[in-house]
Amino acid sequence: MESVRSQVELIREAFHYQARFDGAIMVFKVDFPVTEESGFPYLMKDLALLAGTGIRVLIVPGAKEWIDSVLGEYGIVSRYEGTARITTESALPFVEMAAFHVASRFITGLAAGGIDGVTGNFVRAQGLGVIGGTDMAHTGTVKKILTDPVRRVMESGMVPILPCIGWSSSGRPYNVPSDEIALASSAALGAVKLFIITAGNHLSAGSYDIPESVRRGEDGRIVRLSIQEAGSILENNWKAPGGDKGLEAISLALKAARTGVERVHLVNAREEGAVLRELFSNLGAGTMVYGDEYESVRSLKAEDVPDVLRLMEPLMRQGVLVRRGPEDLIEKKDDYAVFEIDGSIHASGALHDWGEGQGEIAAIATNPAYADMGMGSRLVRYFIDRAKKAGLHRVFVLTTFTQDWFELLGFKEAPVESLPEKKRRLYNLTRKSKVFGLDI
């Protein structure tokens, strides 16, 4: 029964997102090692699936390791200025060959999912010129993304693929970092999401000095980061460029979030279906860096009532919560609040004012699939705050099953006589609820 329920929940979440993302542009920056993974064909099928269902997919393949190996094979030694490879006249044909070979792997993968990938002259580049006396030759930077042709490709149901080569307006080719292309195309096209897909481990909270507020998953992964949290992780852990792949991914995500991409997702390609899970479920599978409001506690609206009753129904059936119907919720609408994650409600509760300066926190319910994520306690804290603002001096709960949890939140058992008069008269002796109170 529970598993059917969670399947239905998942389908609901997927539809919720599907409707929201129809026609939205998403950029996928995929590191080269991902293309060597056994799961690469499945990743491509998932991207083809997204493109086929109305999401506008754009792919930016990284090719660094492949370029290194092609140059190595032809005995060409690269020199670097900082972290930028100097692409000389003689190296350029090999760099182009390597970059387009990688792009062709994506075209092949998408074709298996029935979607055409298209490469083209989409990136206007300019040379870096001479830096500190070093001629950077064919190493360039992004001047602009030619958004019109990119959009036309996407509108015709195909997937533009932007390898790490761009051309100047006079047609001179340059080797351009794929991170830059991913950032510039996300910004220029107003992408709602940038995915940074790597082959390796998820971002583990244990590997870094991270702020207390950061949400960690059961698997130890950093689940999501606000712009501020991502910034402070970089500040506290950054050593040098090229030092840590995870930090580099956070750095790229942060730049994208700062240029206005609402959500950047760091995903490990080794995890089956990670892109779909990250996209269509609030639980996710990777790490999300977000620039907008992602989760919030807010007052109940009339249209939320079916969602709240759906959360409460199994608990009312088990007798954990007192039975309430839609009309009860509507009548006391202003007492209720919901915990919303990205537009979906996953917890709810109420604060009822019984006079004598006392408020009852009631009907706290969390979606079991989202248990132990701090939503219940955030709601209780929200109601305590609301009670304080309303000038109340005490909150209480009546509970039959959850006393330990309320004790953890600082509530203390109290006699029935401590309840305000109006509540005492309604106190249901047969339910034998315990009273727990907290002075605020």
Please report, as ranges, the residues that interact with ligand COA according to CB under 6 A. 315, 320-321, 347, 362-366, 371-377, 397, 399, 401-402, 404-405
Contact between residue 129 and residue 63 where contact means Cβ atoms under 8 Å apart: no
For ligand COA, the closer of residues 192 and 380 by Cβ is 380
Element of type H or E holding 25: strand 25-30
For ligand COA, the closer of residues 263 and 346 by Cβ is 346
Nearest distance, CB of residue 411 and ligand COA, angstroms: 11
What letters, b where the CB count within 10 A reaches 16 and e where it falls short, cover 62-84? bbbebbeebbeeeeeeeeeeeeb
- Is 361 strand, coil or helix? strand
Q: Which of 84, 187, 87, 192 is nearest to 145 (CA)?
A: 187
Q: Which of 184, 156, 223 is nearest to 27 (CA)?
A: 184
Nearest distance, CB of residue 413 and ligand COA, angstroms: 14
Round to whole Å and give the CA distance between 164 and 99.
6
For ligand COA, the closer of residues 95 and 350 by Cβ is 350
Round to whole Å and give the CA distance between 376 and 348.
8
For ligand COA, the closer of residues 153 and 347 by Cβ is 347
For ligand COA, the closer of residues 392 and 397 by Cβ is 397
Q: Chain centroid to CA 408: how far?
A: 30
Parallel, antiparallel or unpaired: strands 173-175 and 84-86 = unpaired
For ligand COA, the closer of residues 192 and 398 by Cβ is 398
Q: For residue 189, what are the CA distances in angstroms to 8, 185, 260, 303?
A: 34, 6, 11, 33
Nearest distance, CB of residue 369 and ligand COA, angstroms: 10
Nearest distance, CB of residue 374 and ligand COA, angstroms: 4
Nearest distance, CB of residue 352 and ligand COA, angstroms: 11
Helices (H), 281-355: 305-317, 326-331
Contact between residue 418 and residue 381 where contact means Cβ atoms under 8 Å apart: no
Nearest distance, CB of residue 318 and ligand COA, angstroms: 8
Please identify the residue of the shown chain whose CB is closest to the bound ligand COA: 376
Nearest distance, CB of residue 5 and ligand COA, angstroms: 14
For ligand COA, the closer of residues 103 and 341 by Cβ is 341
Helices (H), 113-242: 147-155, 178-189, 227-237
Contact between residue 159 and residue 59 where contact means Cβ atoms under 8 Å apart: yes
For ligand COA, the closer of residues 27 and 364 by Cβ is 364
Q: Which residue has the tokens 């492949």?
A: 66
Nearest distance, CB of residue 199 and ligand COA, angstroms: 32
The 3-state DSSP composition of the chain as helix, strand, coil percent (nearest 5) reads: 40, 25, 30
For ligand COA, the closer of residues 57 and 375 by Cβ is 375
Nearest distance, CB of residue 372 and ligand COA, angstroms: 4
Nearest distance, CB of residue 309 and ligand COA, angstroms: 14
For ligand COA, the closer of residues 288 and 364 by Cβ is 364
